[in-house]
Amino acid sequence: MNDLPHGLTPEDIKELEKLDSNIQVGPDITYDEYINIVKYLLRRRRRAGVAGLTSSILTSPVVLSVPAGSPIGTVVGTLSVANGFGTYTYSFISNPGSYFTIVGNQIQVAATLPTPQVIPVTIQADNHLGDRPVLATTITVTTSTYVPTYYIYGF
């Protein structure tokens, strides 16, 4: 059980077992049975609609903003999934102007940013086991924080 499929951790296994006490995950289970159990439990979580049982995408910081004039590659925020299982990949469903990109779990500046404005984006996470939470949020492009440095030379 050290090399679990799809990046699931031993903690994920414990959580799976807590969700349905009738299912025991052990060393005798086949790969296909294991994947079917995970998919079954994920479907149950989505149908339950109980607070804390539905996976969702979180951003850090919660409010996403970046100064105009930020160079390409500037990190705007990081993504994670709460109440999820396995390893997630992230992608944009909507990214007007393609000003941003996702690298790993980071939202980064991908192009020269427009003058200050609010840009709506929609992001989807996917654990390749059927769990695909979506987050609709905004990224605020703020006034540039560039402060020029002046040097005064004496005579």
Which residue matches tokens 């939202």? 107
Residues sharing a CB contact under 8 Å with residue 115, sequence separation 6 or more, in sequence order = 68, 141
Q: What is the mean pLDDT of residues 132-142?
A: 93
Count of helix runs (H) and strand runs (E) in the chain: 2, 8
| Section 9-13 average pLDDT | 65
Q: Single out the residue of 97, 94, 93 nearest to residue 117, CA to CA.
A: 97
* Model pLDDT for residues 55-64, shown as the tens digit of each residue: 888 999 999 9
Structural domains present in the chain: 5-48 (no CATH), 56-142 (2.60.40.60)
Per-residue confidence at 85, pLDDT binned at 50, 70, 90? confident
Q: What is the pLDDT averaged over residues 96-121? A: 95
- Rounded Cα gap, residues 96 and 15, in angstroms: 37
> pTM, whole model, 2 decimals?
0.65
Is the model's pLDDT at 52 over the cut of 70?
A: no
